[in-house]
Amino acid sequence: MASIPDVSAFMTAAQPTETKGFIMQQTMVRVKDPIKSLDFYTRVLGMRLLVAKDFPEWRFSVYFVSPRHDPLPESAEARWQHCMTTPGCIELTWNHGSEEQPGRVYNTGNADATGSRDGEPVKGGFGHIGITCPDVYAACERFKALGVEFTKSPNAGGMKGLAFIKDPDGYLVEILPHAYDRATGAMPTQPVDCNGVALDGGEGYKDNSK
């Protein structure tokens, strides 16, 4: 590919009939300690546990969380269907016993050495999950007050108005606005962010994409 390709055809192609009803329902990540992760995804990110399922014979459990907060159906079957038809759930997988291992357990995907045998960084494919919200700066003030770890506050780095925080396993969570600022046609910004970084400060571009 000598240059950036024209991809407009992928915006206009008709949906294949056989794929009607397909839902992008889950992103699965392994977590060391389910209580720490569930606390983070529910209390900090405002999600709810929709379904928990244990497989003691295979020594793992899975937990589906989502920002969805409408009433959960009564029966286990209906609750499963409710979850399986909710787009964008996160499936937290806990391998029993991992919570007793020292340090981080799983490679996060971002040039991280965790989980490699030689202690060298791995060129990972997974980057992050991303949460959009009405006000990135207010969300980040709250994350900061809750003791959340940042890798980029909204005014740091080259992209102003978005942030990256870490979940308990070190997975990156991007925090983005729902919409651009109408006046500027860019992400809304504020003069100073939760870390005291000014809009014209905060170093250069911090690359999370490579």
Q: Taking the complex as a whole, how short is the minimal distance between the CB of residue 29 and a copy of itself, in angstroms?
A: 5
Tell me which of 57, 74, 141, 174 is the catalytic residue. 174
67 token code pair: 């920002």
Q: Taking the complex as a whole, how short is the minimal distance between the CB of residue 200 and a copy of itself, in angstroms?
A: 18
Find out whether 174 is annotated in a ligand binding site.
yes
Distance CA 147, CA 2 (A): 45
Cα within 13 Å of Cα(19), Cβ side: 5
- Residue 174 catalytic? yes
Find out whether 25 is annotated in a ligand binding site.
no
- 122 sits near a copy of itself (criterion: CB under 8 A): yes
Query: What residue has token string 């020594």?
Result: 59
Chain positions 9 to 28 lying near a copy of itself, rule: CB under 8 A, are 10-11, 13, 15-16, 18-28
Name which of 130, 101, 100, 133 is nearest 208 in CA terms. 130
- 107 sits near a copy of itself (criterion: CB under 8 A): yes
Chain positions 29 to 88 lying near a copy of itself, rule: CB under 8 A, are 29-31, 33-35, 38-39, 42-43, 45-50, 52, 54, 56, 58, 60-63, 65-67, 69, 72, 77, 80-81, 84-88
Largest Cα–Cα distance of the chain, in whole Å? 57
Site string for a copy of itself, 125-164 (x = CB under 8 A): xxxxxxxxxx---xx--x---------------x------
Q: Contact with a copy of itself (CB under 8 A): which of 74, 102, 103, 123?
A: 123
Residues 6+ apart with CB under 8 A from 175: 130, 131, 133, 136, 139, 140, 143, 154, 162, 163, 164, 165
Element housing 36 (H / E): helix 34-39
Task: State the binding site for Zn(2+).
Answer: 26, 91, 128, 174
